[in-house]
Structure 1
């Protein structure tokens, strides 16, 4: 299944008619013989590669903790809901101190919605405190969550340990369980150049499979024409476009060099 190309057959036909036809003039003279199944596989592989490199899901994906019960996973699979699992977040003694305001940076972004945030102490107590939804403040694009206590009243089964932890008493690994939906709600609308880039990545994969020489000649209708294929330039052009999209999705990357 493809998140970017709902009608994969139409996309394959377009790829063959447009990008492959242009590539055949310089690098893939026998592209007309490629099967639809082969082209489909290259599009799907290129889409998966782009998703990994850009560190973003191309469709809404429910993120659940690693220790989610099997019943919950079975229900998601039965409903054909796309999901992924990640480790819970650590609670540290400064979680609510200073200017942090219960600051959580999610591993996946952008956030579409947050289903729940729970503070869970592992067995044997199994005590859970669920954060009221009115506390949750989001920066959806960058995956930032802030917990701002509201004035409403609430009740929760808090053990003495949980009360001590929330008071800044100690650090607890994997205590904060966040269930949220992340990814792109409408990638073709939000990033119209993304689908075009994935098609270029698919063409590059086809060229790599062909083991094209750096230079050579092709013959047609008794005429001979020289050709030159610099795969590195194709690769560099794609990398530049990936960098531009990565900055648009995650913000500029900054590195500091030096020492203290």
Structure 2
């Protein structure tokens, strides 16, 4: 699609501003078809392309995906090597289209263990899309939630800043976006596996049996419809949230 296409709001009228996804099931998808696991990861890139397009169409401003966790280094050497090669290939193939469609890329994660070729590819992709504003796409690579909290605390100590909730949030790897409203995990597992631990304190969680390579716009709509049915109270009572919503509406009418 071109970046001039008209965004489509979610039918429920209530949609998340930031969607996070644990893209699970690539290996099982491949194994079910007697294919090497890397073949599942290649199909996973196609699924991500579909979801990025769907988020743009639905005017979702931020999408964060878990591409490679800090624990994934423990996987077979050939799979890790294949993932690194796939990342480099995907960057060269996908970045021009993403740039054309207004997608701004970020790669939150620890780059110290990555090869110079991979780091250069990540930096170039971020630089080439830095001025885009349609969708922020955070591809969390060599990322872990515990690493994120640890590096944020270390940064504050190095800067001589007090460790407070506000300061920690500002030092996190995804400080450039708001916390996720909706976190989707594909593949049938019922955990978040060290993804966005700090940021997901009040995130709505949706789990689906769908393996990531099969995930599409229809599956995204189902998750968004479930999100729209949730009552988000952020630790407050339903009555308090209702009063806040009334005040927000009233303020909007005054400025109309």
- For the pair shown, which has the larger CA radius of gyration, 1 or 2? 1
| TM-score in same-fold range (> 0.5) | no
TM-score by length of structure 2 reads 0.30
Structure ranking higher in helix proportion: 2
TM-score by length of structure 1 reads 0.30
